Amino acid sequence: MNDETALLSDDLVQRTLGAALHTGGEFAEVFVEDKRSTSAMFDDGKVEELSSGRDRGAGIRVVVGETTGFAHTADLSETGLVAAAQAAAATAKGGGGGTRTIDLDRQSATRPNEVQVLPETIAKATKVELLGRADQAARDAGPAISQVMARYADSRRRFLVANSDGVLAGDDQVRTMFSVSCVASGDTGMQTGRETIGRTVGFELFDEYDVEELARTAANRALTKLAAVPAPSGEMPVVIGKGGGGVLFHEACGHGLEADLVGKNASVFADRVGEQVANRSVTIVDDGTMPTEWGAYAFDDEGRAGQRNTLIENGILTDYMWDLLRARRAGRASSGNGRRQGYQYLPMVRMTNTYLGNGTDDPDDIIASTERGVFVAQLGGGQVNTATGDFVFGMTEAYLIENGEITAPLREGNLIGNGPEVLTLIDALGNDFAMGSPGTCGKDGQGVPVGDGTPTLRVAKLTVGGTAA
């Protein structure tokens, strides 16, 4: 892959930073991005979408005291960059004048993985052929499959970031994703099934995963749910399968561990470092270095190398996630969690790959020791109040547990609870850790790729919002 730091010459970076600091800014940063993407969708047996795009430009921020000025431009000429730098500096309302030269120190970091086959080198017809194969395999799973939608997407995001602290770093992030959604129709109405894979790899993803097998998995989920019974309602033990519940901890706990929300007193975990906030078997980690995972990178969007950060260890809250500016104010280093959707946006504290680590229990024993409850294989979307930790999540694939055995599939219902309380109510933790499906995390109007994962675990009591009498 190309050297991403060649997006701008060092001299031009120097001059742009100089213009940003000319009126007395305390800190300045230049972020240059070149992103290419391709997507294709196969719906109802035909190609409904085949598109590609490119987004290229720079965002410049200047900080004076508590004020941040920010400007972005698609013009990467010196004229365009200097104009944006001056606009950001004016917004920051600095003063003092003078010229400042930055001694840029080119950073290096180990990439989470090396891409083998750039998706941009693969013909679009080859990508569409994958969709057709998945569509046919899903339909072959059974006559009740009435609708299939398959989607392919890839992106290559190259960026350079430099700042007045002397940081000069860049990354070349390649991601490839494939998804199949199926609808099965029967006497109980329509039921859905979905399977998605996504990695920070190139087209070699399809050497590891068979799209026809993915399609059959999605179709069988929909077919199984045709026999679903209404979900129970009330408080009961809930077992969450490996990889299936990471989104709960991402949303209900992870966001509350982001330093910006902590600083705004919008987190239930504010001022609790050193306290026991979870069962002693619980360790939660955010790790931007996990090879090939969806949220992995060599550098964050502020030039800090990706980090593995332990947030809760043996039930004790040990740290928050930090971006550059909040870390500077706290007199500490960034944790490598400064992320942005693109050059048009300011960075903020964001998760990467957030997971609850392995325990020691046998997953089969967790099920066998649960007399009655619900087994959740996959959670869907939901709502969370980060200030309180209260949440509601949909169950997209769930089953009854009766007499220590998984029995009937359930129609979609909700899990209702409180994130910090759930951490204390985990009474069994499996040894079968797995990451879940790739996701896009939304926050303050920005979306970034993230991963999450868990082993099989049991929460002693959660409220299930079903319709069974």
Question: Both 186 and 288 in a single domain?
Answer: no
Separation CA 276–CA 237 (nearest Å): 23
Give the distance from CA 285 to its chain's centroid: 14
pLDDT of residue 245: 87
Task: Assign 465 a pLDDT band (cuts: 50, 70, 90).
Answer: very high
Classify residue 114: in a domain, yes or no. Answer: no
Average pLDDT, the chain: 94
Question: Both 242 and 381 in a single domain?
Answer: yes
Which range has the worst mean pLDDT, 32-36, 155-159, 243-247? 243-247
Task: Assign 290 a pLDDT band (cuts: 50, 70, 90).
Answer: very high
Question: Both 347 and 429 in a single domain?
Answer: yes
Question: Both 67 and 135 in a single domain?
Answer: no
Check pLDDT > 70 for residue 99.
no
Q: Which tens digit of pLDDT belongs to each residue from 37-90?
A: 999 999 988 999 999 999 999 999 999 988 999 999 999 999 999 999 999 999
Question: Both 169 and 247 in a single domain?
Answer: no
Question: Both 195 and 284 in a single domain?
Answer: no
pLDDT of residue 2: 52
Question: Both 238 and 222 in a single domain?
Answer: no
Classify residue 47: in a domain, yes or no. Answer: no
Question: Both 129 and 166 in a single domain?
Answer: yes
**Rounded mean pLDDT, 26-31:** 96
Last-in-domain residue among 226, 245, 277: 226
Task: Assign 469 a pLDDT band (cuts: 50, 70, 90).
Answer: low
> Angle formed by the axes of helices 78-92 and 10-21, to 10°?
30
Contact 27, 63 (CB under 8 A): yes
Separation CA 93–CA 361 (nearest Å): 58
Range of the domain at 251: 234-465
Pairing of strands 353-356, 284-287: antiparallel
**Rounded mean pLDDT, 243-260:** 92
Last-in-domain residue among 183, 207, 226: 226
Q: Which tens digit of pLDDT belongs to each residue from 321-346?
A: 999 999 999 999 999 999 999 999 99
Question: Both 137 and 186 in a single domain?
Answer: yes
Residue 271 — left, alpha, or beta (φ > 0 → left; ψ -120 to 50 → alpha)? left
CATH of residue 162: 3.30.2290.10
Give the distance from CA 112 to its chain's centroid: 16
Classify residue 45: in a domain, yes or no. Answer: no
**Rounded mean pLDDT, 125-144:** 97
Task: Assign 13 a pLDDT band (cuts: 50, 70, 90).
Answer: very high
pLDDT of residue 128: 96
Classify residue 112: in a domain, yes or no. Answer: no
Last-in-domain residue among 175, 205, 226: 226
Task: Assign 102 a pLDDT band (cuts: 50, 70, 90).
Answer: low
Question: Both 158 and 83 in a single domain?
Answer: no
Separation CA 197–CA 318 (nearest Å): 32
Classify residue 42: in a domain, yes or no. Answer: no
Classify residue 111: in a domain, yes or no. Answer: no
Classify residue 220: in a domain, yes or no. Answer: yes
Q: Which tens digit of pLDDT belongs to each residue from 376-433?
A: 999 988 888 988 989 999 999 999 999 999 999 998 899 999 999 999 999 999 999 9
Question: Both 65 and 197 in a single domain?
Answer: no
Which range has the worst mean pLDDT, 96-100, 131-135, 267-271, 315-319? 96-100
pLDDT of residue 187: 86
Q: Which residues, listed in sequence order, are joined to residue 165 by a DSSP beta bridge? A: none
Number of separate domains in the chain: 3
pLDDT of residue 100: 52
Classify residue 77: in a domain, yes or no. Answer: yes
Check pLDDT > 60 for residue 301.
yes
**Rounded mean pLDDT, 137-159:** 98
Q: Which residues, listed in sequence order, are joined to residue 391 by a DSSP beta bridge? A: 384, 417
Separation CA 248–CA 442 (nearest Å): 14
Task: Assign 107 a pLDDT band (cuts: 50, 70, 90).
Answer: confident
pLDDT of residue 92: 86
Q: Is 150 helix (H, G, I), strand (E, B) or coil?
A: strand
Question: Both 246 and 267 in a single domain?
Answer: yes
